[in-house]
């Protein structure tokens, strides 16, 4: 009875790991695609880098700019982490399957 449970556990575990790895990959790619829609919003901040415009910006404009940068960096960082974890999980799963 115990052997049957172990034999049933391996394919289910393999399937769950594959699904989890693919889910992380897809979510990471979708997150990057979703944030690529901010390109028109980024165009608004192109003038932010000149010295003259830096001195003329209001506090609200600085707050919006910093919030945008924070959201942009956090989103892309989490997307890269998701994609890397998905690849690592898929590679480990395939390696484990080959060694069994």
For the whole model, what pTM was predicted?
A: 0.66
Q: Which two tokens stand for residue 87?
A: 């690849």
* Listed range (20-24, 33-37, 66-70, 96-100) with the worst mean pLDDT: 96-100
CB atoms within 10 A of CB 27: 15
Q: How many residues does the chain have?
A: 100
Distance (Å, whole) CA 75 – CA 70: 8
Phi-psi region of 50 (alpha: psi -120 to 50; beta: other; left: phi over 0): beta
pLDDT of residue 73: 82
pLDDT of residue 13: 81
48 within 8 A of 57, measured Cβ to Cβ = yes
86 within 8 A of 21, measured Cβ to Cβ = yes
Instruction: Kindly tell me the sign of the dihedral angle through the C-alpha atoms of 71, 76, 79, 80.
Output: negative
């Amino acid at each position: 009875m115990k052997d049957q449970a172990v034999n049933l556990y391996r394919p289910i575990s393999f399937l769950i790991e594959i699904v989890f790895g693919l889910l992380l990959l897809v979510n990471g790619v979708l997150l990057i695609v979703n944030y690529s829609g901010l390109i028109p919003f980024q165009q608004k901040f192109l003038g932010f880098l000149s010295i003259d415009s830096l001195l003329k910006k209001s506090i609200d404009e600085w707050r919006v700019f910093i919030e945008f940068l924070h959201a942009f960096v956090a989103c892309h960082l989490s997307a890269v982490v998701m994609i890397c974890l998905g690849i690592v999980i898929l590679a480990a799963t395939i390696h484990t399957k080959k060694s069994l």
